[in-house]
Amino acid sequence: GLVRTSLVAGRFQISFVKVSDYTGLLALDNQLWQMWKGIRHGDIGGYPVQYVERGSLQQDKVTLPNNAVQYRLSRDFIIYFSEV
């Protein structure tokens, strides 16, 4: 028979920060999504994961005292995993 398990939908927010490299910031977000979007009954860092969804996005920038621009991108990921 089938074993009944409970899944948890955990919201994890990941932030990337780059100075004077907005394109590189977007590339980091894209690289992480490319690694995680195909997970189906796999794992992240050795922890069993059922599925990953990409959620909301927040961005901002700050001008530093040396006139460089610090960009920040925060992305929500919904990770489904078994409740232990």
Q: List per-block mean pLDDT (blocks of 10 residues) for the chain, which spans 84 residues.
A: 76 97 97 95 92 96 97 97 82
Taking the CA atoms of residue 25, residue 64, residue 62 and residue 75 in that order, the dihedral angle to the nearest 10 degrees is: 30
Structural domain span for residue 45: 10-79
The amino acid sitting at 68 is A
What is the number of domains present in the chain? 1
Q: What pLDDT, on a 0 to 100 scale, did the predictor assign at position 12? A: 96
Inside any domain, residue 63: yes
Inside any domain, residue 38: yes
Inside any domain, residue 22: yes
Cβ neighbors of 9 (< 8 A, separation 6 or more) are 78, 79, 80
Q: What is the pTM for the complete model shown?
A: 0.83
Q: What pLDDT, on a 0 to 100 scale, did the predictor assign at position 53? A: 96
Inside any domain, residue 58: yes
Inside any domain, residue 2: no
The amino acid sitting at 84 is V
Q: What pLDDT, on a 0 to 100 scale, did the predictor assign at position 6? A: 83
